[in-house]
Chain A
Amino acid sequence: MLSTVVFWIAAVLAVAGAIGVVTLRNPVHTALSLVLTMLSLGVLFLLLHAEFLAVVEVLVYAGAVMVLFLFVVTLLMAGVKPPREEHHLRLAYQTLIAGLFGLILFVLVLHSLVGAGWVGTLAGPQGGSFGTIASFGTALFTRYLLPFELTAVVLLVAVIGVVVLGREQE
């Protein structure tokens, strides 16, 4: 019962934040409403017994990634103007067309979900140790050790790439 109430509160906040991301004009406001969505998703992760991922979502996404975004927004926006109102390459009715495509995509996804029988299916039985940080760590460092090690390579490539890109061009 309580989990239903928490789900609806978090879901409404997540959708509200998402609508804010798409509609707010000021990039700082956009970033803050994205933080709202991520915090709500963290609550939903807890409801789904993903304890570690809830913490990671708040720390890495709402914390580190969004701080990076806000840094760039404040650094870049300081000397640069927002997009022009008129532009010779502007697509006419761009927002309308985007909304139409979104509606079509949503109907398609919903149709496939209903077709697969997923809407209304009850969640599976509560597993004993499922979702605890201990079971996450066991899975990460035994069966999925190689993919975990490979993420280190991905991060190394990202670091090198940022250093190369951020250098002053001669």
Chain B
Amino acid sequence: MVPIGYYLVLSAVLFVIGGVGVLSRRNPLQMFMAVELMWNAVNLSFVAFARQYLDMAGHIFVFLVITVAAAEVAIGLAIIVMVFRKREHVDVDDLSLMKG
């Protein structure tokens, strides 16, 4: 069997890569996909812990996370489309309305 720690380290690697993506991309859609990657990394560690403790609660929680992620994607994409529909470039740096 593969030790549980391998799954947790893999989950950490995916989470960090996703976080770097959110910080470094300028296209809002690609930032959003990096957020999805972070959701998935956390789901992996939930499932790994569920396997370690043989407890179905981890599976239920991942199921709820996937539901919330789907709702978040629908609303987030609607907001992105609404904000950038009338703009020339898709660039988060253009959103400077609240800059002091």
Chain A interface (Cβ < 8 Å from any Cβ of B): 3-4, 7, 11, 14-15, 18-19, 21-22, 27, 30-31, 34, 37-38, 41, 44-45, 47-50, 52-53, 56-57, 60-61, 64-65, 68-69, 72-73, 75-77, 80-84, 87, 89-90, 94-95, 97-99, 101-103, 105-106, 109-110, 113, 118-125, 127, 130-131, 135-136, 139-140, 144, 147-148, 151, 154-155, 157-159, 161-162, 165-166
- B1 lies within 8 A of A119 (CB): no
Q: Number of contact residues on B: which range applies?
A: 35 or more
* A140-B2 CB under 8 A given contacts A76-B90, A83-B91: no
Per the bound structure, the CA–CA distance linking A57 and B46 in Å amounts to 14
Please, which residues of chain A bring their CB within 8 A of the CB of B18? 18, 21-22
Known contacts A82-B27, A101-B19, A123-B1; is-contact A76 B84 (Cβ 8 Å): yes
- B12: shortest Cβ distance to chain A, in Å? 4
Question: Across the A-B interface, how many residue pairs have beta carbons closer than 8 Å?
Answer: 255
Most buried by A among B12, B57, B68: B12
Q: Which of A65, A97, A105 contacts B19 (CB 8 A)?
A: A105
Q: Are A48 and B81 in contact (CB under 8 A)?
A: no
Given contacts A15-B17, A45-B47, contact A61 B40 (CB under 8 A): yes
Is A37's CB under 8 angstroms from B14's CB?
yes
Min CB–CB distance B68 → chain A (angstroms): 6
Q: Is the CB of A69 within 8 A of B59?
A: no
**How far apart are the CA atoms of A90 and B53 in the complex, in Å?**
47
In the bound complex, do residue B82 and residue A3 qualify as a contact, i.e. CB atoms below 8 Å apart?
no
For A18, A34, A118, the residue with the greatest tally of chain B CB atoms inside 10 Å of its CB is: A18
Query: Is A131's CB under 8 angstroms from B20's CB?
Result: no
Q: A27-B29, A102-B16 are in contact. Are A44 and B44 (CB under 8 A)?
A: yes
